[in-house]
Amino acid sequence: MNKLLIGRYIPGNSFVHRLDPRTKLLASFYYIGIIFLADNWQTYLVLLLFTLAAIAMSKIKLGFFWKGVRPLIWLILFTVLLQVFFTQGGHVYWHWGIFTLSQYGLINGTYIFVRFVLIIFMSTLLTLTTPPLALADAVEYILYPLKYVHFPVYEVALMLSIALRFVPTLMDETEKIMNAQRARGVDFGEGSLMQRIKSLVPLLIPLFVSSFNRADDLATAMEARGYRGGEGRSKFRILKWHAADRWVGLSFIVLTIILIVLR
């Protein structure tokens, strides 16, 4: 638990850092959509160059992006190996039972690996260059049109901010309860599966009780300070679109056209 890094934002003043968080969030969604257009080495090369250019513009070392890949390396290798040994077609190099090592399997395995890495690089770029609170603001602005169908946009935005604020607090609380239960003899990492399941209950129940007490205290404090719902509240952080955001939009349109042409 204590190895976990909360928020991976690296402060900076690069072109990517200065972009509006809405642009970065929407661009990340869009990128994952257009990556499906890539189906040959030329299209993957274009996507790779585009992603590396975006990383270079963030002025963050490539090593940080590899750190984003590392926790998923076994999942990536497992998926690539499935692809390599179960795809058939082209020249067959090796065959044993249900496993086949073929030309298409190797090519597809490489494409899947590159696709995995590119998606992780792009989502890492978003989280490394955008503070979590700015991301919560971006989500609020994106949800804003739903206000017209009576969706509680302001309440949802407040929920996001409260949840973000309490993640570190609840992580500390969990650690504290785990240590308290360890001191009473509970062993979370030893014993049969059944014993481990049973050891989870003395962790979860105190955690829920203390969390709900916190939620009650917070609600009382909010109402005591006059909170009456989100409608009409002013904002501390105001988001504004800039010319750079329009350039990013344009670059994604150009990228989409290139991918469609090269397919």
What residues from 105 to 134 belong to the interface with another protein (CB under 8 A)? 108, 112, 115-116, 119-120, 123-124, 126-128, 130, 132
Q: Does 200 bind another protein (CB under 8 A)?
A: yes
Q: Which of residues 168-197 bind another protein (CB under 8 A)?
A: 169-171, 174, 188, 193, 196-197
Q: Minimum Å distance from CB 17 to another protein?
A: 15
Q: Compute the distance between CA of residue 231 and CA of residue 236 in angstroms, rounded to an integer.
A: 15
Q: Minimum Å distance from CB 151 to another protein?
A: 9
Cβ nearer to another protein, comparing 156 with 244: 156
Q: Minimum Å distance from CB 185 to another protein?
A: 17
Q: Minimum Å distance from CB 54 to another protein?
A: 15
Q: Which of residues 65-84 bind another protein (CB under 8 A)?
A: 68, 71-72, 75, 79, 82-83
Cβ nearer to another protein, comparing 158 with 248: 158
User: Exposed, middle or buried, 21 (CB in 10 Å: 0-12/13-18/19+)?
Assistant: buried
Q: Which of residues 219-238 bind another protein (CB under 8 A)?
A: 219, 222-223, 227
Cβ nearer to another protein, comparing 34 with 170: 170
Closest Cα to residue 50, out of 70, 27, 74, 68? 27
With beta carbons less than 8 A apart as the criterion, state whether 37 and 43 touch. Answer: yes
Q: Which of residues 38-67 bind another protein (CB under 8 A)?
A: none
Letters for 6-35 (x = contact with another protein by CB under 8 A, - = none) are: xxx-------------------xx--x---
Closest Cα to residue 47, out of 61, 63, 31? 31
Sequence-separated contacts (24+) of 226-232 with Cβ below 8 Å: 229/154, 229/155, 230/152, 230/153, 230/154, 230/155, 230/157, 230/158, 231/154
Q: Does 207 bind another protein (CB under 8 A)?
A: yes
